[in-house]
Every structure is written in C-alpha cells, then in structure tokens.
Amino acid sequence: MVVSALRNDGARDEVALGAALDLLQERFGSRFTRGLEIRRQHANTTTWLPNEPADAVVFAASTEEVSEIVKICAAHRVPIIPFGTGTSLEGHVNAPKGGVSIDLSQMNKIVAVHAEDLDCTVEAGVTRIQLNNFIRDQGLFFPIDPGADASLGGMAATRASGTNAVRYGTMRENVVRLTAVMADGSIVRTGSRAKKSSAGYDLTRLLVGSEGTLGIITEVTVRLHGLPESVAAGVCSFPTVEDACNAAILTIQSGIPIARIELGDAMMIRATNEFAKLGLPETPHLFLEFHGSPASVAEQAEQFAAIAQEFNGGEFASATRPEDRTKLWQARHDSYFAVKGLRPGDTIQSVSTDVCVPISRLAECVTETSADIAANGLIGPVVGHVGDGNFHTQLLIDVTNPEEIAKAEAVISRMNERAIALDGTCTGEHGVGQGKRKYLVKEHGHGLDIMRVIKGALDPLGILNPGKILPDA
Amino acid sequence: MVVSALRNDGARDEVALGAALDLLQERFGSRFTRGLEIRRQHANTTTWLPNEPADAVVFAASTEEVSEIVKICAAHRVPIIPFGTGTSLEGHVNAPKGGVSIDLSQMNKIVAVHAEDLDCTVEAGVTRIQLNNFIRDQGLFFPIDPGADASLGGMAATRASGTNAVRYGTMRENVVRLTAVMADGSIVRTGSRAKKSSAGYDLTRLLVGSEGTLGIITEVTVRLHGLPESVAAGVCSFPTVEDACNAAILTIQSGIPIARIELGDAMMIRATNEFAKLGLPETPHLFLEFHGSPASVAEQAEQFAAIAQEFNGGEFASATRPEDRTKLWQARHDSYFAVKGLRPGDTIQSVSTDVCVPISRLAECVTETSADIAANGLIGPVVGHVGDGNFHTQLLIDVTNPEEIAKAEAVISRMNERAIALDGTCTGEHGVGQGKRKYLVKEHGHGLDIMRVIKGALDPLGILNPGKILPDA
C-alpha cells in the first residue's frame, strides 16, 4: 500500500511524511537533517521569491543512494527537490509542498576524462570551475559559463548557458549523455558517448532542462573543447543599442566564429564608470572575445572592426595579453556589483530578468523594455548575450515597497510577453522554476498539454520537484 | 464509440478500416488512392527489407489536412505512416500493420526565410536541394546533406546528418522549432525562434528522431548558415585505417573547424580506381573540405598537412577552384556506384550499415568490422564520416542466396553490437525503422522502458507508425 504525504486534496499527511523521514534518518544518519537553518539554505535564496524550505535535507553520495531516497519517498508520496549549488534564480529549489531536498554536492567525483574524444563524465555535484581546473593541464576546457560556479547537474537540469554559448552552445548541445534517477527510483543511463545517434527518442535532451521534474540527474557526460591557442578581447562603443545589435547581427551572419559578444547599455556603462573609475563613453558597448590561432584571431578582430565602423562604432580596441584583455572586459566583469552600486541599501534587491528573441528583433525588444523600465521610474540596466538574442535587465527593487514591487512585476510581465510575441522565449537560460510558470501558457500553447502528459506518464505521483515548470492546472 | 482497425489481439478489423478509408476517399477524392502500384512505391524500396504497403495513400496539402486524416484514423484506430521522399534505409515507411500512408511531398512551400536570424521555416515536404536552390541568392545555405535529396520533414523525423555534421551538426542541432500533428489529430508548434531557451521540456528534440511514432512533423524551422567565402578540398592517403583515424582525431582535437573529413578504405579506393580510372594508391584515404575566409582556409589546410605527415600521410593535395575540388573528391562522390561495380548483377543488393562510436574507438571498430566481413567472404568497403566517429560499410549481397544473407545479417549484428560495446550506437544517422529495433535493447537498457512509457502516453492507441523504433514487447 502506498501511503501518501502528498494528498490529492492538497493537504499533507504528516504521518506518511514522518514515516518516510524516519526511514531516511535511520538510513543516512548524520547526512540527514531536519534543522531549519540547513533547510532554509537549501531553499530559494537568490531572488525575491519567498524561501520555502523542504521538511528535511539528505546529502547523497552516489546514484544508488539517490535511488534509495527516491524509493522511500515514492513509497510515501513525499516530494523530492534536487539541490546542486543553489544558484538558480527562479525558485527551482523551493519546496512549496514540503518534502525532501536531496543535496548532490558531495557527488563531486570526476569519473572519467576522454581527452581523445573531447568528453568527460562527472558526478552531478562537480562544479564548472572544479572541472576546468582539473582538465586545464590536458589543454582542454568546458566552455559553458553561467556566471555562478554552478554544478554540472544543476546546469544540465536548467539547460544553462552564458556568455560563450554563441560559439559553443548551451547545455542542450554539450551534454552527451546522462544518468538519472526516475520517479520510481529506477536508474537510467541515456544515450551513448557517440557524437551523434539516430537510435530512438532523445531522452538526454528530454531530461536536460526538465529541472528535476522528470528525473534527478546524478551524472553527466559533457563535451570538452581544446583550449584556444590564442584569445583576443575587444570593446567598442556604439551610439545606440540598435547600432550595436546590427553590428552583432552582421558579425554572426558573416560567419565570424565569435566566442563572446556581450552588450552593455548606456546605464550599465555609467554604473561601471562610477564603480571602477573607467571613463568609458556612456553609450552602449559591445564586449567581444575571439578564439583561434593567432592569425585567425587577428583576422576576426579586423573583420569585426570593419563591421563596427559600418554601424557607427567608436574606436575598436583589442588585445591578446591576459592582463590587457581583463582591462578591456573590466566593465563587463564588474557589471553585477557596479549596477548594485547604482542604488545601495539593505532593502534593495537585484532581480535579473532573462528573455531571448530572434536576433533581428533584439534591438526592438531591448529598446522597448528599457523605455518601459524608465517610464515606471525603475532602475534596470541591460546586459545581453547578443549573439544569441538573449538579454537580462538587472532591476534594483526596494522589496519593502509593495507599490514598487507591483510596478516591477508588471514590467517583467510585459517584458516576457513582449519576447514571446516577438517569436522568442520568456527564459533564455535561467529556466522556469516557480517564477516563469505562468508565461508558459502563452509561450507553448498546446505544447504545455503535451508536457503535462509526459510529466504525468513519467511521474504519476507528482513527487519530482512539484510546483516547478508546469503551471497549476 | 471507437471502432478499431488495429485490434489488441493483433488481428485487423476490416470493417473499421474500410469505414475510415471510405471517409478519406470522400474527403480527399483524387488525392486518395488504394492502387497497389502507388502503395508499393510508398513502402520500403531501398534495402533488402520486404516491401509492406499501406492499405491506402493520401496526399496531404496542409497541416490542417494531416490533422483531419489523423482524426479519422484515430477514430477507427487505423495505423498512420508518414512519407516524405521514401529515401530512408531501415523500412521506416513500411506498413507492417497496414493503414494509411500520408504523403507529405505536396507540402513543399518555403514558408519564410529570416536571413538576419539565419533560419527559415518550410513545410515538411521541401527537400534540401530545393531549399538550397531557393536561398543561395541570399548567400545562405542549409548544411545537412544525407546524400539523398530527402525532405526536411523526413530528415527531422530520422535525425539525419551526413558529411558535414562534423562542423554544422545534425538535425538535432539544426531544427529550431517544428509543427507536428499528434496522435489525436491536435496540432502543436514546439519551441520558438529564439536561438536558445530554458522554457520547459524540449519537445522539439523529442520529436526529432521519433520517426513518426510520436507525431507527424508537418513544418520545420531550421538553421541556415552563410555560404563560406572560400572552400578548399583536399585528399590524402594513409598506410592504415588507424593512421587515417589518428589524423582525424588530432584534427578535431586541434580545433581545426573542418567542414568535412571522410574516410574511404582501401577497397573503396580500389572500386573508384576501377570505376573512374583514377590511379589513386589503393590504401585508406581521407577526403577533406575546409570552409572560411581565404586566409583561414589556407591555414586550416596547412595545419592538416602537418598532422597528416605525423601519421604517415602521403602527399596532401588541396585546391579551392570548384573544378579542381570536384576532381579531388571524385573518388568520394563516385563511391556508391563504384562500389556497386565491384559486384555487378541484378540480384546483388547494396546494404548500408551505420554505426557511430567515440572517435578514439573508431580505428578499432573499422578494422575489426572489415576483418569480420573478409572472414565471411563478403564484400563491404568502408566510407566514414570520421570526424564524428560514424562509418558505413556498403555490403554487396546476393539476395537470392539465403546462406549469404544469413552471413551478412550475422556480420551486421556483430558490427552493431561491437559499436554498442565501444560506448557507441547502432545507428549514427540512418535511424531505427524496422531494421535496427532489436539492437535498442542492448543500447538503451532501461531507457527503452522509458521510451515505451512516453510512446504509450502520447499515442495510447498505437496508431503512429507502429512497428518502428520500439521492439515488440
């Protein structure tokens, strides 16, 4: 008989929950806790969404242990929330229905590096910086950089990307295969290490981006890349966002294999000027990075310089020495804290939005969004991975001011709907979590029904990270 | 009430089937046929698998018409087999349980080209050559080239690729979004035109490669690329398959953005020498293509030449003028017919295998496979997309000789299992269809159970292309 902590009427059965927690406590001892502090650390900590802790946290050490935990939870219908580093931005790790948070950070072994095949297999808790430190000596690197030192399992679960997705792709393109624990505790290893395959349904990519709602990713095999022989950085000012976007479009269209192409708007530049005394012209800028042989990098930089001129770009400065590159990119690197400096205060929270549109609609989307922010008296500079049509505004909101929160929510809502109306998405790389669920109705239409059918088939008890991705019916 | 042509006991209910066909005939008039000749043309024609025609063929002209057909079929539980150009190799278009073949070739409109976004939307029946002819004037091309002039819908459904996947990816990476008719006749449009998204389950990639068993793809949006400014072709001989593979591995590892890198083994070269009087040394060869700026292409060719020398390569000839490039690649272009010439005869069929392994295991897999073919007295030269670890043998089989067929089947079986044991796949790009179903048990293990759950949830009546991908339970 299945006893159920998650009742169909929405109420909790504390007896069933208690029974499951007792079993977990007995099995995992000191790696199990009901302490509030730990539980709060394992719930949302990074945005204005409320912190909703699970009833307990278990630290798992292997795929088999995760399977054991899931089997106990499934037998008592206890919700399960996978936890990597807790750096997600949309409440992915909250436990709105309680349950058990499974912390995977102790699963941090690098299982195998296949340098000849340019791939490696790691446990879900390995972070990207840990991996890059490990493989650097072999002349290899893992390119995906979402900013935070996130775990590879979490990055796969949220389909993360970042500044150099324009060249190297996102987790969608870079996860070769994975191991996951499904809702019944069974363990599946998807795909193979072959670079391509036509052998049946793409379970790997079904699980990538499923945010722990279809299975718990416990191991991933990811693609690696050879460290580029030469790297050049560059920066260029433009009179308008539109000029900067047009330069980005032509760069991509010309087939320049640009590694990064980042937009900062005038307000972002002003913030970094104040923060780091930079003296940049306070207009939109593009920050660029080129990877390749020395000759190819030089050629790319030259080609970009010509494109920039076509779109009224200022002087294009580029450099290949690491210290010079850092200087050119300083404004971009500092942007998060620099922007926070625009409005200091304990009650001011930085809220990051994340839309992605076809690149031809990018200037329009950025410009309208910035105008909306200004019209509402809010502060929200723009940084963007413009090669992909993806940009963020960093809204600085006084979270003690309900009127300001309402204004910000309305601005964000219009921004997401604007992106969807422009054939884009309400989230380029942050994921849905709790925060973006309501926008999926408009974005996916009937696709959302199909997602629900898949969810119902693979997690019939609804215990895997409930309250995420799919809006309440 | 659902009447059912596909009974649970496996028998056919001719009354239910007849009722559905009458409705289709009435609705589609001359675009509906029960004629045997047309039905046979719409079943498997490309391999030694038997031709299993559907009971009728309907030529659909729009997504809405496909939806109407599916609704009629669903109401009578009649199997549906989507048909593009009929160039698949594993019996994908056969109708082992009868039913209705939906021919999508009249859905051949190019719906929209977004040159700035490097994507375009086409109906499923548009072929890759048609598309490339249409977009060439805009300086764009669609890179995926499976050899045959297949339809984009069919290529998406089988997750096709080909010679330049090493640089541009497969249909997995190049389908941006798609429209599909689901098993209940509902129409879904997956994803958006944003280059990346973290907004929920990846329905696009679930349908890509699902071979019409989860939905019928009626429209696809695919990525385009700028025509390279310069193209260079090259060819180089190697003493052994291992040397050639090692040169390919180092080329990839060095980050040379090679556009094509094809292996032909000694027997393939001998065949083309005889076919076209070429006079190449009869040892393994690599055929290469480089895309980029003139300077980049020259640099790539130089870098490859150095690598080839390291692995005992012969003289490396390269050229950029179209007519010279064609000459260098002639052996590769001619290989299919040249190999057929090794064993002429009306009863001799050419059977193409298709495994893909991690590139580090490629030489081993090719060498053992070739030895097995030789030990069984069969003829089967090797061509391979070696940058991806993917290769084909083209077995020449006398299909009137049961003993020879049995030997060939055993060789193919061992080849597929060898690839799976080497962490690879039984199909790199041809798909599963009927022919590869049995290998999925070993390749996917528990993953196959999960595929069955998904299939059961999305097609509960089992009417979408039955008898494909999933082995009989």
Q: Where are the domains of chain A?
A: 14-105, 110-226, 230-336, 343-429
Mark yes or no for CB contact A202/B443 under 8 Å: no
Instruction: Pick the residue from chain B with its C-alpha nearest to A202.
Output: B206
- The structural architecture, per CATH, of the domain A110-226 is 2-Layer Sandwich (3.30)
Mark yes or no for CB contact B420/A202 under 8 Å: no
Q: Tell me the fold of B344-429.
A: Alpha-Beta Plaits (3.30.70)
Read off φ and ψ for residue A394, nearest 5 degrees. -105, 90
Mark yes or no for CB contact B454/A450 under 8 Å: no
Other CB atoms within 10 Å distance of the CB of residue A26: 10
Mark yes or no for CB contact A206/B208 under 8 Å: no
The C-alpha atoms of residue A452 and residue A112 are separated, in whole angstroms, by 36
Q: Which residues contact B259 (CB under 8 A, 6 or more apart)?
A: B164, B166, B167, B168, B228, B231, B289, B290, B291
Name which of A114, A118, A436 is nearest B252 (Cβ-Cβ): A118
Mark yes or no for CB contact B226/A255 under 8 Å: yes
Mark yes or no for CB contact A356/B194 under 8 Å: yes
Mark yes or no for CB contact B199/A254 under 8 Å: no
Which class is A343-429 in CATH? Answer: alpha beta
For tokens 């043998």, what's the residue? B393
Mark yes or no for CB contact A172/B254 under 8 Å: no
The C-alpha atoms of residue A26 and residue A40 are separated, in whole angstroms, by 22
Mark yes or no for CB contact B446/A186 under 8 Å: yes
Name which of B159, B299, B420 is nearest A198 (Cβ-Cβ): B159
Residue B287 token pair: 């055929």
Other CB atoms within 10 Å distance of the CB of residue B182: 22
How many H-runs (helices) and E-runs (strands) does chain B carry? 18, 19
Mark yes or no for CB contact A469/B161 under 8 Å: no
Q: Which residues contact B234 (CB under 8 A, 6 or more apart)?
A: B287, B288, B289, B290, B301, B304, B316, B317, B318, B319, B328
The C-alpha atoms of residue B402 and residue B409 are separated, in whole angstroms, by 10
Return the C-alpha torsion angle B330, B332, B335, B336, nearest 10: -110
Residues from chain A that touch B433, judged by Cβ atoms under 8 A, are: none
CA distance A190 to chain B (A): 6
Mark yes or no for CB contact A205/B202 under 8 Å: yes
Strands A56-59 and A100-103: parallel
The C-alpha atoms of residue B288 and residue B60 are separated, in whole angstroms, by 41
Q: Are A17 and A100 in contact (CB under 8 A)?
A: no
Name which of B165, B200, B432 is nearest A196 (Cβ-Cβ): B165
Rounded to the nearest angstrom, the gap between the alpha carbon of residue B38 and the centroid of all alpha carbons in its chain is 23
For tokens 């009629």, what's the residue? B72
A130: alpha, beta or left, given left = phi > 0 and alpha = psi -120 to 50? alpha
Give exposure, A418-446, as e/b (b: 16+ Cβ within 10 Å). Answer: bbbebbbbbbbbbbbbbbbbebbeebbee
The whole-number pLDDT of residue A3 equals 55
Q: Which residue pairs from B315-319 have beta carbons closer than 8 angstroms and sit at least 24 positions apart in sequence?
A: B315/B236, B315/B237, B316/B234, B316/B235, B316/B236, B317/B234, B317/B235, B317/B236, B318/B232, B318/B233, B318/B234, B318/B235, B318/B288, B318/B290, B319/B232, B319/B233, B319/B234
Instruction: Pick the residue from chain A with its C-alpha nearest to B211.
Output: A200
CA distance B416 to chain A (A): 12
CA distance A375 to chain B (A): 27
The C-alpha atoms of residue A224 and residue A114 are separated, in whole angstroms, by 9
pLDDT in tens, chain A (473 residues): 345 677 777 678 899 999 999 999 999 999 999 999 999 999 998 888 999 999 999 999 999 999 999 999 999 999 999 999 999 999 999 999 999 999 999 999 999 999 999 999 999 999 999 999 999 999 999 999 999 999 999 999 999 999 999 999 999 999 999 999 999 999 999 999 999 999 999 999 999 999 999 999 999 999 999 999 999 999 999 999 999 999 999 999 898 999 999 999 999 999 999 999 989 999 999 999 999 999 999 999 999 999 999 999 999 989 999 999 999 999 898 899 999 999 999 999 999 999 999 999 999 999 999 999 999 999 999 999 999 999 999 999 999 999 999 999 999 999 999 999 999 999 999 999 999 999 999 999 999 999 999 999 999 999 999 999 999 98
Burial class (CB in 10 A: 0-12, 13-18, 19+), B321: exposed
Mark yes or no for CB contact B206/A205 under 8 Å: yes
Name which of B119, B200, B253 is nearest A118 (Cβ-Cβ): B253
Nearest residue to B191 (alpha-carbon basis) of B209, B173, B178, B210 = B178
Give exposure, A37-52, as e/b (b: 16+ Cβ within 10 Å). Answer: ebbebbbbebbbbeeb
Suggest the residue from A198, A246, A420 to mutate for an interface test with chain B (most B CBs closer than 10 A): A198
Burial class (CB in 10 A: 0-12, 13-18, 19+), B351: buried
Mark yes or no for CB contact B225/A423 under 8 Å: no
Residues of chain B with pLDDT under 50: 1-2
Q: Which residues contact B194 (CB under 8 A, 6 or more apart)?
A: A356, A357, A358, A388, A389, A390, A419, A423, A424, A425, A428
Instruction: Pick the residue from chain B with its C-alpha nearest to A432.
Output: B199
Nearest residue to A195 (alpha-carbon basis) of B155, B167, B20 = B167
Residues from chain B that touch A458, judged by Cβ atoms under 8 A, are: 450, 453-454
Strands B56-59 and B100-103: parallel
CATH number, domain B230-336, options 3.30.70.3450, 3.40.50.10490, 1.10.10.60, 3.40.140.10: 3.30.70.3450
CA distance B224 to chain A (A): 10
CA distance B190 to chain A (A): 6
Q: Tell me the fold of B14-105.
A: 3.30.43
The beta-strand segments (E) located in A43-118 are 56-59, 80-83, 100-103, 110-114
Identical fold for domains B230-336 and B344-429, yes or no, is yes
